[in-house]
Chains A and B, each alone.
Chain A
């Protein structure tokens, strides 16, 4: 039924609504969605204000308005653009819509509660959760909840599997790989990282650091504030860093991979036709080329280690020296609280996470390919 509805929408969208009147809007959105524009926009106009104005935007009326605007923009776009409609209604991408709505709702819940708690703390009042008895009985409270979840989950899965066709494709053919070849939706963030890093880095080291960071989090974050209640004011760094990694470097990259990556893994606007013959110049230059050829005006040295010395120095600085500088300057208080080992563990993950946006920005601005480029040893960074 849903697919029928969507097909109707598609038919409707294809013919009458695709009028030139929308072209200006579409072109603007397409131009803004280029990653070198959209990611800074998302970071500075959405992510940072989300923290600064969290007491304002989480008010139910404002949040509802924001949600309605988002839904109009997100679902309404299907009416005015057929290419966008194809992306959103593709069976692979239905989870993306659910994820977007889910992330928005859970973020609102967390920020709303944090706003209430922080206001109470600022006024010296007790927290709303304090004094409440939050104990529930296993029987019947928990078991009934579980049973209802079981029934609802089963119904949703059955209905989903009936209404949406499984996105099966033709038998695999090495001569004709799907173009674009996309990972499952939850791995699109990883696939996006692979564009900027060597497979070893983006496929092994960075995911490994995500896992080890998640494992280590309870051990290096010993701040007792926020235990059992939402707060932002009492632990701004932890929440900001966590959401930076989760929202910007994971969810947003999944959205990029879903909506903006087209044939040949080129960037396309959400309202742009996926032209597999589109020619996009993407020439990338290594840091060693920049230093030796453009900077020092001489050919690359023969010895690969001399050749890559600038990148090696930079990476050693970034991974080994930068945490020390942070510990001595802006994070001195944190360093004193956490102690050397905990801080080192945290800072290592922090700077390596920071490498991701750094590399993306450098790729967009300077078309930088690799800091260290040692194909002789299959080692690139």
Chain B
């Protein structure tokens, strides 16, 4: 198979440039980013000029975030002339179009140290420091150890200099590489990803944040709704109340004096027990009346009837009235409405459901 490669003969900028400087970084010979758009430098309108620059133009085209760098290629016989110089140039050159995978640092220039801190103070400090980019140029015969440069820097710096000052001095003097910036980190992370994948990952992250915050807001709203639905103040009498003295209930009968305030009938039953009956009809929650002549509780809503003991015997009431906990403290009778005793669950007769008079 005859070996061919592509060489760029013409390059131009389509409308839509966002003036991001990426192309000029990748290939300053060709691209000139101006105020409003990027233009092709005049000399680059020559095919002979662009042909040797093919790899860097392709890198610039792939690196363009809005993909406005367009170019034309021709197939040329023979191996790529720049194949040896560029580590990964072959792949990028043969893929030809900007749609291929990014070749990842095709024209990544070797790292060059910055020229040094512009501050004359820094320059003076560094001039006195035993530092140099070239170990051979060191004024000291002392071999450079791993520990030495920081020591030298520390000596050069005022005492107690902050860590970032030390780091800046190390970078400025060439002892350390600058730590990678955010853009570089993103480039490293997305190396090997297509533009589409990178965009998808970014959009997914944005969507995740958006929906997540929406969910948080919604959950917060639900919580507020629940908070709104729960009453802030409940005008309920305390569940435990003192219902007079035991001697008040000497006679058999129904005592109604706590019906209004607490919703309880105190009943001295024929068998000599004292119980606290709820005044809520077990059918649909109306409040029955005590009819002394008939010796029964009678509900006005649907006609349910209860014996004095609270046991239902007529009408639709499905079960007897509920008993509340009743107990003696000294000579005083106490009723605890938070504890209920239901006859059909065989809870009547349990301690607390009744007291002997």
A: residues with CB less than 8 A from B are 174-175, 177-181, 191, 194-199, 203, 263-266, 277, 279, 281-284, 369-370, 373, 375-376, 378, 380
Contacts and interface: CB of A to CB of B under 8 A. Distances in A.
A175 B263 CA distance: 9
B300 A181 contact: yes
Nearest to A279: B294
29 contacts: A180-B301, A181-B286, A191-B301, A194-B283, A194-B302, A194-B316, A195-B303, A199-B284, A203-B284, A264-B298, A264-B300, A265-B299, A265-B301, A266-B303, A277-B291, A277-B294, A279-B294, A282-B303, A282-B305, A283-B314, A284-B313, A284-B314, A369-B316, A373-B318, A375-B319, A375-B344, A376-B344, A376-B345, A378-B318
A236 B345 CA distance: 50
B259 interface: yes
B289 interface: yes
Nearest to B263: A174
B287 interface: yes
B260 interface: yes
Contacts of A177: 286-287, 300-301
Nearest to B345: A376
Given A373-B318, A375-B344, A378-B318, A178 B300 contact: yes
A196 B259 CA distance: 28
Contacts of A195: 302-303, 315-316
A283 B317 CA distance: 11
A198 B314 contact: no
B287 A174 contact: yes
Contacts of A376: 344-345
B293 interface: yes
B302 A191 contact: yes
A178 B299 CA distance: 10
Contact of B301 (A181, A198, A279): A181
Contacts of A199: 283-284
B303 A264 contact: yes
Contact of A282 (B291, B301, B315, B319): B315
Contacts of B289: 179, 264
Interface in B257-315: 259-260, 263, 283-284, 286-287, 289, 291, 293-294, 298-303, 305, 313-315
B286 A279 contact: no
A376 B44 CA distance: 94
A198 B284 CA distance: 9
A120 B314 CA distance: 54
B287 A198 contact: no
Contacts of B294: 277, 279
Contacts of A194: 283-284, 302, 316
Contacts of A175: 259-260, 287
Nearest to A196: B316
A314 to B, nearest CB: 18
Contacts of B303: 195, 264-266, 282
B318 A198 contact: yes
A203 B286 CA distance: 15
Contact of A265 (B300, B313, B319, B344): B300
Nearest to B261: A175
B313 to A, nearest CB: 5
Given A181-B286, A263-B300, A265-B301, A198 B316 contact: yes
A150 B328 CA distance: 69
Contacts of A369: 316
Given A175-B259, A277-B291, 7 more contacts: A174-B287, A203-B284, A264-B291, A264-B298, A279-B291, A375-B319, A376-B345
Contact of A281 (B260, B284, B314, B316): B314
Q: Closest 9 CB pairs between A and B? A: A265-B303, A282-B314, A375-B319, A179-B300, A375-B344, A181-B301, A264-B298, A380-B318, A175-B260
Nearest to B342: A375
Given A177-B286, A265-B301, A376-B345, A197 B316 contact: yes
